[in-house]
Amino acid sequence: MSTVAGKIKPKKASQWVRRSIQVFFLVLVALIATNETLSERGIETLSFIKGASLHAICPFGGVVSFWQLFTTGTLVKKVHESAVALSIIGLALSVLFGPVICGWICPLGSVQEWLGSLGRKLFHRRYNTFVPRSIDRPLRYLRYVVLIWVSYMTIMTGKLFFQDYDPYYILFNFWTGEVAIAGALILVATLIGSLFIERPFCKYACPYGAFQGLFNLFRIFGIKRVASTCIDCKACDRACPMNIEVSTSGTVRDHQCISCLKCTSEDSCPVEATVVFAAGAMPGPAALAEKEAV
């Protein structure tokens, strides 16, 4: 591939912004999950999270409540109005930027990713390749089966059906003893699996991730590769936690993309302005050459 319009660049530490956001939301959700217990023990928490709960800040609860809200004007049991508002905000973010909630905000996704860092040190290049491609690819559509199942059961029962199986809910409630055994087992399997597979629950089972992934088909801002400056080094493919072949794409439309930006020229791609996060048409060689001249 030509590199006339491209320039080999030094690595940038661009991921620290995303990591900071991930840590912030992990701590925030942990405080919300424990604030009632801490208050009962006389430990003061942040005033703005008093009265909040996991159900109140879960956008997926709002998504599965839409049917009941539209047909009866009521919410699914335990779902708060704030969850509906957050689901609408999440919807807007998805249309604009794709599944940024998955890649930047979800605490369970972050925990899986951080455990994956340990797995990468243990297995090096073998990490995230243990599942054969012939099994991995069809298995990734399992989460859409879960989404349909959870949505149907929630509509039929009028309850948050997925709560007992949700590792996100279990992660922040395991210390209370009010968790279902099935959910605890799924959480343990997810955490152990993260040592071998990057974000296993996100890839294969998360219903909200499945819903978010649909927006990769028509999101406004997306991952784009400039073929004219690509040197075909595959660095973007190796960096992608979801095993997407960015190096063969023009615009990444894969339903598994989580908008983490690890593949971009701001992080892994060694050539400036070659894998970018942008809206609309790709910049052409002339535009890149003009930028280089400046």
Q: Against a cut of 0.95, is the pTM above it?
A: no
Bridge partners (DSSP) listed for residue 271: 8
174's tokens? 């395991």
Cα distance between residue 150 and residue 82, in whole Å: 20
272: left (phi over 0), alpha (psi -120 to 50) or beta: beta
Model pLDDT for residues 53-66, shown as the tens digit of each residue: 676 677 777 677 76
Q: Going residue by residue through the chain, which has 294 residues, state the pLDDT in tens, using 9 for 90 and above.
A: 434 444 555 555 567 889 999 999 999 888 888 776 666 566 666 665 565 667 667 777 767 776 676 666 666 666 667 777 888 898 999 999 999 999 999 999 999 999 999 999 999 989 999 999 999 999 999 999 999 999 888 888 777 788 889 999 899 887 776 788 999 999 999 999 999 999 999 999 999 999 999 999 999 999 999 999 999 999 999 999 999 999 998 999 999 999 999 999 989 999 999 999 998 644 444 444 434 443
pLDDT of residue 62: 66
143-174 confidence digits (pLDDT tens): 999 999 998 888 887 777 888 899 998 998 87
What residue ranges do the domains of the chain occupy? 221-293
